[in-house]
Chain A
Amino acid sequence: MGPFLLVTIQVDLYDRLALMLESDLVQAISKSGAQGVLIDISAVSIVDSFMGRIIGNIASMARLLDAHTVVVGMQPAVAITLIELGLTLPGVQTALNVEKGMQLLQSRIRVADSEEDAPHGDDDAGSPE
């Protein structure tokens, strides 16, 4: 199992910093061969559609690099607001805290590894979907 990356966002990020985080993180994933990324947003008080899109981008790029992303520590008010705003984060899983996030990543990676070993893994040839 590769290492996990833990990113803690300490403040409400300026847009340029958020975009930098996105590219730095993607590089860090590819360099380290990390299989999991934890993004701790417990100190973030506002997630608007811009910030949401950055998180979504990180998760989809991580996925291309074979890593899973879990967002941890989302404040309840932020979660309520995101639902009303209508922003869903496809491919992004959430967990209450870093510890729960790690457990989630470990189980995701175990499942992914066993699927790889299975004879009919992800091959979509002949699949009706």
Chain B
Amino acid sequence: MRHTGTTMLVVLNKDAYSIQREQDVILFRNRVKEFAVRIGMGVVNQTKLITAASELVRNMLRYANGGDVLIEVITRGRENGIRLTFKDQGPGIPDIKQAMQDGFSTGRSLGLGLPGTKRLVSEFDIKSTVGVGTTVTIVKWKNG
């Protein structure tokens, strides 16, 4: 996370969604796109943000049986951006460092979701407690 000290982060607009089923993935992606278009985010950054969001909702469905997502339009200084918070009450991740490595997967998959998502966004934060759940927060600045 970047700390500017003097500039405050302001939430302009927000919306919450519950993710329960596979069909929610595309619906949710469309919502993210609407928000990104509304702040004038360019196509490349939009695509990176939506792809990252898609990976994180898939993880939520696959490993935690779903969860909730908050979409926020934020502003800091002159920058506008989108912040997404993915919160689930699944099993949690015992070793986050390991989960963030390219190729690590307990689902016999590619293990790209978390590390790839981090590369695609401006800011990435993950918190997880075993037995309690996982919260991943990402920010994509309009020009970031």
Chain A residues close to B by CB (< 8 Å): 12, 14-16, 45-50, 53, 75-78, 80-81, 84-87
16 additional A-B residue pairs with CB within 8 Å, beyond A12-B26, A49-B58, A49-B110: A14-B22, A14-B23, A15-B25, A45-B47, A46-B51, A49-B55, A50-B54, A77-B47, A77-B48, A78-B47, A80-B44, A81-B51, A85-B51, A85-B119, A86-B102, A87-B116
Q: Residues of A contacting B51 with CB < 8 Å?
A: 46-48, 81, 85
> How far is A40 from B29 in the complex, measured between Cα atoms in Å?
21
> How far is A35 from B83 in the complex, measured between Cα atoms in Å?
46
- Nearest B residue to A82, CB-CB: B51
- Nearest B residue to A50, CB-CB: B58
Q: Residues of A contacting B44 with CB < 8 Å?
A: 76-77, 80-81
What are 8 A-B contacts defined by CB distance under 8 Å?
Answer: A75-B47, A78-B47, A80-B44, A80-B47, A81-B44, A84-B48, A86-B112, A87-B112
- Nearest A residue to B33, CB-CB: A45
Tell me if B7 is interfacial: C-beta within 8 Å of chain A: no
Q: Residues of B contacting A50 with CB < 8 Å?
A: 54, 58
> How far is A93 from B134 in the complex, measured between Cα atoms in Å?
37
Smallest beta-carbon distance B9→chain A, Å: 25
Q: Using an 8 Å CB-CB cutoff, how does the interface string of B92-129 with A read, 1 for contact, 0 for none?
A: 00000000001000000110110111011000000000
Given A15-B22, A16-B22, are A49 and B113 also a contact pair (CB < 8 Å)?
yes
Contact, CB under 8 Å: A84 / B120: yes
Smallest beta-carbon distance B48→chain A, Å: 5
> How far is A47 from B47 in the complex, measured between Cα atoms in Å?
9
Given A48-B54, A53-B110, A86-B115, are A12 and B47 also a contact pair (CB < 8 Å)?
no
Tell me if B43 is interfacial: C-beta within 8 Å of chain A: yes
Tell me if B46 is interfacial: C-beta within 8 Å of chain A: yes
Q: Residues of A contacting B47 with CB < 8 Å?
A: 45-46, 75, 77-78, 80-81
